[in-house]
Amino acid sequence: MSQLEELQKRRTFGIVSHPDAGKTTLTEKLLLFGGAIQTAGAVKSNKIKKHATSDFMEIERQRGISVATSVMAFPYRDLQINILDTPGHKDFAEDTFRTLTAVDSVIVVIDVAKGVEEQTEKLVEVCRMRHTPVIVFINKLDREGKDAFDLLDEVETKLNLRVTPLSWPIGMGQSFQGVYSLYEKKFIHFRPHGKQDSEETVAIDRVEDQRLTDIVGQRPHKQFLEELHTIQGVYPDFNRTDYLSGKICPVFYGSAVNNFGVRELLDCFVEIAPTPLARETEERMVEPDEPKMSGFVFKIHANMDPKHRDRIAFFRICSGVFERNKNYYHVRLQRNLKFSNPTSFMAARKEVVDEAYPGDVVGLFDSGNFKIGDTLSEGESLHFKGIPRFSPEIFRFVNNTDPSKFKQFAKGLDQLMDEGVAQMFVKLDSQRKIIGVVGALQFDVIQYRMEHEYGAACSYDPIQLHKACWVVCEDLKKLDEFINRRKKDLARDKDGKLVFLAESAWTLKLVQENFPEIQFFTSSEH
């Protein structure tokens, strides 16, 4: 099959939401429909020993949250679907932001009772900045929740998205009867506590059809017709071009835990979602149908298989065809690398692949060659944009509590920092190591993984810091003067770049005034 045909088959998307909106459950149901798994896991159930397929780290199983991005690929209707399931918890937002650089579209999951929550707003803002096409799935319709119209208003005002419903619920909670698909013109009858195949689908060309009255009852049918009239008057008709440019956002209703409304979402998604999109580099735009291979690393994960101390770089292919055992140019290291075992993912399960195409994410076994944002190409020097490291918000000194495990401690910290779990700064004056994170929960993850994956124990000491700023100055004399005078506030990051550790916003402002030649950046991509 030609590269162009393979390109047309790819759909690569991320699933994002606030914690507990049902994102991981929805991922599992999509995998069930794709035949990728036979039984769904239970993320939070202690009675069931199976766990969500996409939550493979031990700490995720214990806490019932996703703390790392999972990649899952499966075939569906002659297409290749690539799902990136992201952490919903705000403490792992940076991992999610980076993952959004590797997707072509996004499904946002919203809890019908809670509506649009804070973390959802932040993630959708990133999608809007990149003009990523968004579909909204309003979940848990089998529970009592907010009015369907109120939810649409909330999505429009809080997420700044123009919505167009492509399905509509009849009833909610105890009185939930099912969903009418405006896209496919059919009614899907809800059977509570039913199995996957127990939903009953009725093709209905006319919404006034008597069969619908017979199924749902006269009053609910009448109310549905009134609501439908309002929808047609208020919301724009669905237009794929507007969806692909991010101007409108289709909305679906359902209940992922009951496998309800998920198939309709998936069937519509594979028809309307974009094939792999062009990607911006500092040098030029990279088109997916170009003959030469290029792509970037957006995530690194150590010890996906605890039995083997492996490190895997998640590599998104942007153009050409990635081939096993072929030499590719590592732009930052300026040398060629060859990969004998590139893998495709089914969460923690991996399979060796001979070829991969734009839109695919492959795992590359890494012995320390990769950092987040690295590019591989067929010789061209490209730097993909939009994969920065952000200034952390919480800081602590990190200590090795067992001096006999110095090597394990150093290796563990080194690898976890490469993954982008957190950032490490080494102070110029004392050489003490400081870890900076976006959310406090990351400290627990680091401590847990250091002990269980590297056999090293660490502890933390408090430090009062407001912000870490990367420092740049073209005048080397002025830079030396700055380093000599502010040495106690300076550190080096993992790449050796100079970083100013500001104790407070006032300190930062004062230093900026005293040293006007020095530039301060809150992102490493400047």
For the chain, the domains span 13-58+104-272, 279-377, 394-521
**Residue pLDDT, tens place only, 295-343:** 999 888 765 555 555 678 889 999 999 999 999 999 999 999 999 988 8
pLDDT attached to residue 319: 94
Distances (CA, A) of 44 to 41, 64, 114, 149: 9, 5, 19, 31
Whole-number pLDDT of residue 65: 42
Q: What is the mean pLDDT of residues 256-269?
A: 85
pLDDT single digits (tens) 139-189: 988 888 899 999 999 999 998 889 999 989 888 888 888 888 888 888 888
Predicted local distance difference test score (pLDDT) of residue 44: 35
Q: What pLDDT is stored for residue 151 in this prediction?
A: 92
Lowest mean pLDDT among 20-29, 30-39, 59-68: 59-68
The CATH architecture of the domain made up of 394-521 is 2-Layer Sandwich (3.30)
Closest by CA position to 15, among listed 79, 80, 109, 92: 109
The yes/no answer on whether domain 279-377 falls in CATH 3.40.50.300 is yes
Q: Is the pLDDT of residue 216 over 70?
A: yes
What is the rounded average pLDDT of the residues 83-97? 63
The pLDDT score that the predictor gives to residue 35 is 65
Q: What was the pLDDT predicted at 445?
A: 82
Q: What pLDDT is stored for residue 431 in this prediction?
A: 92
Give residue 67's pLDDT: 38
Quick check: do 13-58+104-272 and 279-377 share a fold? yes
pTM for the full predicted model: 0.75
- By residue count, the chain amounts to 526
The CA-based angle 422-348-135, given to 5 degrees, is 75
Residue 56's pLDDT band (cuts 50, 70, 90): very low
CA angle, 474 then 477 then 483, to 5°: 95
Specify the pLDDT at position 128: 81
What is the tens place of the pLDDT at every residue in 235-252?
A: 999 999 999 988 899 999
pLDDT band at 117 (very low <50, low <70, confident <90, very high): confident
pLDDT digits (tens, 9 = 90+) for 349-388: 567 889 999 999 998 888 778 888 899 999 999 988 866 5
Alpha-carbon torsion (497, 501, 506, 507), positive or negative: negative
pLDDT digits (tens, 9 = 90+) for 472-515: 988 889 999 999 999 999 999 888 889 999 999 899 999 999 99
pLDDT grade for 435, boundaries at 50, 70 and 90 = very high
Assign 54 a pLDDT band (cuts: 50, 70, 90).
very low
Q: What is the CA radius of gyration of the chain?
A: 25
pLDDT band at 258 (very low <50, low <70, confident <90, very high): confident
Rounded to whole angstroms, the Cα distance separating 87 from 330 reads 29
Q: What is the pLDDT of residue 419?
A: 74
Distances (CA, A) of 98 to 14, 192, 438, 450: 11, 38, 13, 23
Distance, in Å, from the CA atom of 21 to the CA atom of 414, rounded to the nearest integer, reads 34
Give residue 200's pLDDT: 66
Mean residue pLDDT of the chain comes to 82
Any idea which fold 13-58+104-272 has?
Rossmann fold (3.40.50)
Two tokens, residue 444: 């627990």
